[in-house]
Amino acid sequence: GEHVRGNGITVVGADGVALENMTARNAVLNGFFWTSVKGYRGSYLTAYNNGDYGVYAFDSQDGVIKHSYASGSPDSSFYIGQCYPCKAIIHDVVAEYSALGYSGTNAGGELYLINSVWKHNIVGLAPNTLDSELLPPQREAHIYGNIVADNNNIKAPYIGLSWPSFGNGILIAGGLRNDIEKNVIINHPNNGIVMLPNLQENFWLSHGTIVKENVIRGSGRADIALVGPISMGNCFSGNSYATTIPFGLEFANGCDAPIRTMMGGDLSMMLGALSMMMDAKLGNLESGDYKTQPVPGPQKEMPADEKEKIQPAFAPFEAHQYLLKSINFHPEAEEYLKGEHGSSSYVGSMQPVVPSGFLAILYHIFGFLLPFVVYSSWTFTALYDMHRQDKKSPIWIAAILVLPFLGSGAYHLSGQSSLPGWYRKTMLWAGAGVFLTLVIIAAALVL
């Protein structure tokens, strides 16, 4: 592409096109691109240092991408987007040195991401929901048997709003009913597996994800994390891990349990991601240059016997069902687990997101820690005032202790408190005002 031409190869509305055994590099936009087709196949493809996506299927169904390599893309190495049901398989690929190894906006329904390697990106895999594309929400993707490692590449190229996903292995942003099983996920400074809301025109929550039999090591905040104000229907069983946020996810929400508990999540991570969105919007960060990312070595050549049987991509999803019958851990899983990886952190929500710039620390202190300080001050002063007045109302004591913020706030506002009015109003509104101001400023910049 010489960093002048738009796409390496573009397939527009032509069903059944197979692209095999070739390289696309240095395009301004995409390496290999199918759009609005039914039936596509890509195998033994190499796409590197392209200005948007490496291997890209949009608004398309019934496809297979296999035995391929993609790197150095500011959006993602591999992308399947805006399809339901997608009826697509990504198998035996390697994605590295990109913003996202895999991005799947509003994509799902018989969508399988299996036995592949996602490493050295900003984030490994990130199925997500956005209002800017059709068919929201993202749902029903199956992520099986992958290696997801060292996705903390601060030198990778990225477009602005991919930056908040930094340092996570598998990130579900506003997705529903996804399935994450038998993956090896190691060395991520934020989270190994994380489910969080996504905000655009609507606020999309992540619900109903199955997380089973994964091996997670070396996570800086949590091996498995729920993020945001509320989450429902997610379940966790048989995983090998050290830490979760909130604590006790597998105990409270086992996949075999008859009831799954509605839970809140890590607001610290959500506010940290918000601060990273602000950094991206304000231009406080410098992206890596997609033109100068590492050039890959020689890749696998298409075997001679397969070259002799080249055929159009007629019903490729059905033809590759054999790949889905016995999915297990990746063949290189043991090798990766024997390599160097740190122990998972037990500090969790108390530390800012990584990387911790000024805004991340500011929002961590005033957005995440401040509510705890406000809660403590409201509760303590209410109980102390009752003690000083020798009040022994069990109803008020129960309300103050059992209803965070509401009970103590009602006590101070109802005339029960003997504290001066100016003192109570300052205490009640100062902390809440700072918190709301920060959220409003962030929303104004991001939206």
pLDDT in tens, 83-96: 999 999 999 999 99
- What is the mean pLDDT of the segment spanning 413-430? 85
pLDDT of amino acid 364: 80
pLDDT of amino acid 282: 81
The residues facing 117 across adjacent strands are 94, 147
- Check pLDDT > 90 for residue 76: yes
Calculate helix-pair angle for 406-413, 370-388, nearest 10 degrees: 50
Residue 21, token pair as written in the block:
């055994």
Which single residue is written with the structure tokens 């016997």? Answer: 305
- What is the mean pLDDT of the segment spanning 127-153? 97
- Check pLDDT > 70 for residue 447: no
- Check pLDDT > 80 for residue 130: yes
- What is the mean pLDDT of the segment spanning 241-247? 92
- Check pLDDT > 70 for residue 2: yes
pLDDT of amino acid 346: 76
Neighbours of 115 (CB within 10 A): 24
Distance CA 164, CA 158 (A): 11
Residue 413, token pair as written in the block:
């506002």
The helices-and-strands tally (H runs, E runs) of the chain is 10, 25
pLDDT of amino acid 49: 98
Residue 397, token pair as written in the block:
């004591």
Contacts of 276 (CB under 8 A, 6+ apart): 163, 164, 166, 353, 357, 359, 360
Which of residues 252 and 48 earns the better pLDDT score?
A: 48
Indicate the DSSP class of residue 55. E
- Check pLDDT > 90 for residue 24: yes
Whether the model pTM is above 0.85: yes
Instruction: Share the mean pLDDT of the chain.
Output: 91
CA-atom Rg of the chain in angstroms: 24
Q: 15-24, 104-113, 395-404, 426-435: which range is least confident on average?
A: 426-435
- Whole-angstrom CA distances from 163 to 234, 288, 362 are 25, 12, 18
- What is the mean pLDDT of the segment spanning 63-75? 98
pLDDT of amino acid 359: 82
pLDDT of amino acid 110: 98
